Structure 1
Amino acid sequence: MALPDGRLRTRLIRLAEAFFAQPTATLSSALQGDAGQTKAAYRFFKNPQVTLQTLLQPHYQNTLARITAHPWVLVAQDTTSLNYAAHPATSGLGPINTRADGALGLKLHDSLALTPEGVPLGLVDIQLWARDAEAMGQARQRKQRPIEEKESLRWLTSFRRTAEFQRLCPQTRLVNIADRESDLYELFQEATRDPQGPHLLIRANRTTQRQVEIDEGIAPLWDYLPAQPLIGRQLIQIPSRGGRKARLAELALRLAPIRLQPPKRLQAEPIDLWAIHAIESCPPEEGDAVEWLLLTTVPTQTLEEASERLGWYAARWNIEVYHRTLKSGCRIEDRRLGDADSLASCLAIDLVVAWRILYLTKLGREAPDLPCSVCFEVDEWKALYCYTDKTPVPPESPPPLGDAMRRVAKLGGFLGRKGDGHPGATTLWRGLDKLYYLTEGFRIFHPSVPGGP
């Protein structure tokens, strides 16, 4: 652990345990209303040795170890806003929306490593900043500045961080994945400089008006790809979002190698990429058709390869689930601390707790037959089974993880009906809150059962 002071390390472990045991609790509630412990926590977050990146170093190292166990790993990057408008006394915040909106907070750009099946392996990069209020409303001037002076640099920073991980695990191929906002020519340039570096897969932004080289000259990318021959169809699960219901969509696929032309603002060479166009064949009457145009450095020449790239991009949704877990599950926007640096230090713990919740959610699906002791302490799983089975006698050996996860989720409101599928992160974090109190009661009446560290 990067913290030099043993007392700080002990405090960090205690806070991490408290935060995970009750992910939705406020700081004082997580510390059982102990005034001394709460005051010590505020001092900890205020300590200049305690920073966001220092606290995350052990997690980054563990992420790297998990990555090396897989042949292909996806690194999804995305940006979200943390709204602290309800805490106007906190110093060091900046605008997060429009000038007229007036909301204050921080911007968070994270990079999350995932297996192709969507199991989160951990964080690769975290960027956190407060916008300068005086720079708001200067869109025209920003367009003239180099990318090194723009917020857009965050996409390249994430890719460069992914490249650092790639050098440390050469047996694993990393693919950096991002949504339409990352459609930057400079990012393509970065991704094609080193053949041994990570690959890139992004969704093209129609508004960038990309041009590609063809036999007859130059053509718009969004005209060229949809005109290519149909190579097949692929089913993709579209999650619910806003007013959109979850559904299984059938997408028609087309692909082509392309030579992407640089924008006029750059003096640069064209870049060779592969492009995949996917559009929903029969969209619902009440909604728009799903349409993706993906650009990648990964060679893509067959229907099977195109379908795989489509699945990789669909796995990017897990970072949005991660953001929801962070905000609604860990309630990071409810943290009341005096300044942005203290919020950042507290956020480091919440970031790891949110990852662990999402990891447990996915692990319970992907490896349901593992013993639940891989994720729960003895007193936790025994308390869970005594309560849910309504018996004072706990099981002698750890039950399967999948069953334990469903029981925790039911504590959080998961109904578990035949058509309900797997429990999600929301019911899991609610269930973990209740499991904490069940475990505390179990320890009182079963003092011989060993507790957690």
Structure 2
Amino acid sequence: MWAREGRDKDGVRHGQKESVRWIEGYERVAELAATLPGTRLVYVADREADVVALMRRARDLETPADWLVRATHNRSVANGEKLWGHTCSGTMLGEITFTMPARDEQKARPVRQQLWSRQARIADGQGGLLEVTCVVAREVGAPAGNDAVEWRLLTNRPVSGVEQAVELIEWYRARWEIEIYFHVIKNGCKVEGLQLAAIDRIERALALFMVVAWRVTYLMRMGRTCPNLDAALFFDPDEIRGAHLLTKKKMPATPPTLNDVVRLIAQIGGFLGRKSDGEPGAKTLWRGLEQVHATAETVRALRDGLG
């Protein structure tokens, strides 16, 4: 396990460089790829992983897993141009539209981006060159008061048309699900507040909370993408009953849908359900599930006691 070192009084951060962890992460994915020959594995990372050493390591391993990194450095390419200008000097491939999820104080909103992509050769830091593909996704028509969403991505994957560029954008957007998952572990499960001294106790706690966080994020995503599925596929009967008890709602005559129960649970956790609020997020689901779980346990205890 690894945690970032704090800075000293001079603002210097000691310990192992974080870039080493990004490389080690790719190496673990590469090892997994060897055991899954029929599966495409993709290593997706944000701007902190924009280090040439990572790309060079992937090349040296013969790229057993694809990689996609959000670029932060406007490097020089072999012909002397800067990478981002080089990419956008080509023909625009097309456009992509999607909904940007709500975050912090910003509400969810539609985004339309124009796409460019070009291959380039950049210095590998050891006197050689790396072949990379750069994709630039630039928002057009951003609403007043909102910063335009622009992503510059580097990858080993070739792009021959808009379909391949869109696939890479979707890969990058998928990282948001991972961020939500770890947000639930950190802030919902409050693992940092456990202050467990022994590594084996930390690992056992994480094993439990990772399952809890997975369920919260899974319910949130499925409630949005498959809202009309039967709630009984995701909750046991006592959880469904507990959600109705806590919100003082009568159990419906027909089986409730997944979205019906998800919204009830989120309401218990503080979700207001106004038209402008969109769908429930992980935070209100986590809070609501805590209470629903306790109520379901009470219902079971009462039933068993009366039985």
TM-score band by shorter chain is 0.7 to 0.9
Whether contact under 8 Å (2:77, 2:123) holds in the other structure is yes
Match of 1:222 in 2: 84
Q: Does 2:299 correspond to 1:437?
A: no
Matches of 2:60 and 2:107 in 1, distance apart?
41
How far off is 1:313 after superposition? 1.0
- Between the aligned partners of 1:433 and 1:275, the Cα distance in structure 2 is 44
1:203-352 equivalences in 2 (<5 Å): 203-206=70-73, 209-213=74-78, 217-262=79-124, 266-338=125-197, 342-343=201-202, 345-352=204-211
Which position in structure 2 is the counterpart of 1:168? 35
**Structure of higher RCO (CA pairs closer than 8 Å, 6+ residues apart):** 1
Tell whether the 8 Å contact from 2:47 to 2:70 is kept in structure 1 after alignment. Answer: yes
Structure 1 position 323, deviation (Å): 2.9
Q: Structure 2: state its 5+ residue gaps.
A: none
CA distance in 2 between counterparts of 1:158 and 1:135 reads 30
Give the match's secondary structure for 2:192: helix
Shift of 1:182: 0.5
C-alpha separation in 2, matches of 1:182 and 1:239: 23
* Structure number with higher strand proportion: 1
Give the deviation of 1:187 after TM superposition.
Answer: 1.1
Q: Counterparts of 2:25 and 2:9 in 1: how far apart (Å)?
A: 23
**What is the rounded CA distance, in whole Å, between the counterparts of 1:403 and 1:386 in structure 2?**
14
For residue 237 of structure 1, give the secondary structure of its aligned residue in structure 2: strand
1:128 aligns to 2:2 (yes or no): yes
Q: Aligned partners of 1:291 and 1:212: how far apart in 2? A: 21
Aligned to 2:239: 380
Letter in 1 for 2:22: W
404, 408, 427: which is aligned to 2:261? 404
Quote how far apart the aligned CAs of 1:449 are: 10
Q: What TM-score, normalized by structure 1, do the two folds share? A: 0.60
Q: Deviations over 1:198-256 (max 9, x none)?
A: 101111113xx41212xxx3221122122222222222333344454432222121111
CA deviation profile, 1:297-316 (whole Å, cap 9, x unmatched): 12211112212211221221
In structure 2, distance between residues paired with 1:438 and 1:210: 57
Moved more, 292-301 or 434-443: 434-443
Contact 2:120/2:132 (<8 A) preserved: yes
1:390-401 map, 5 Å: 390-391=249-250, 399-401=256-258
Give the letter aligned to residue 75 of structure 2.
Answer: R
- The residue type paired with residue 131 of structure 1 is E
- Report deviation, 1:194: 4.5
Which SS does the other structure have where 1:163 is aligned? helix
Report Cα offsets for 1:138-161 as digits up to 9, x if no partner: 57x99xxxxxx5221111111112
What's the C-alpha RMSD, in Å, of the aligned pairs? 3.2
Three-state SS of the structure 2 residue aligned to 1:300 is coil
Change (3 A) 1:168 1:371: farther
Quickly say closer, same or farther: Cα 1:245–1:395, change in 2 above 3 A: closer
**TM-score normalized by structure 2?**
0.85
- Taking a change above 3 Å as real, the CA distance of residues 369 and 163 of structure 1, as seen in their structure-2 partners, is farther
Identical counterparts, % of pairs: 36
Amino acid at match of 1:255: S
Q: Distance in 2 between matches of 1:302 and 1:190?
A: 27
**Structure 2 equivalent of residue 359 of structure 1:** 218
Gapped regions of structure 1 (runs ≥ 5): 1-126, 143-148
The answer on whether the counterparts of 2:40 and 2:65 sit within 8 Å (CA) in structure 1 is: yes
1:179 aligns with 2:46: yes
Distance 1:356 1:401 in 2: 14
- TM superposition shift of 1:396: 9.0
CA 171–273 in structure 1, closer or farther in 2 if over 3 Å, else same: same
Q: What CA deviation, in whole Å up to 9, does each residue of 1:361-420 have, x standing for no partner?
A: 1123333444434432332223334555644xx679964333322222222122334454
> Within 1, Cα distance between the matches of 2:48 and 2:197?
32
> Is 1:416 the counterpart of 2:290 in the alignment?
no
Residues 271 and 440 (structure 1), Cα distance of their counterparts in 2 relative to 1, 3 Å cut: same
Moved more, 227-236 or 340-349: 340-349
Identify the match of residue 55 of structure 2 among 181, 188, 196.
188
CA distance in 2, matches of 1:339, 1:376: 34
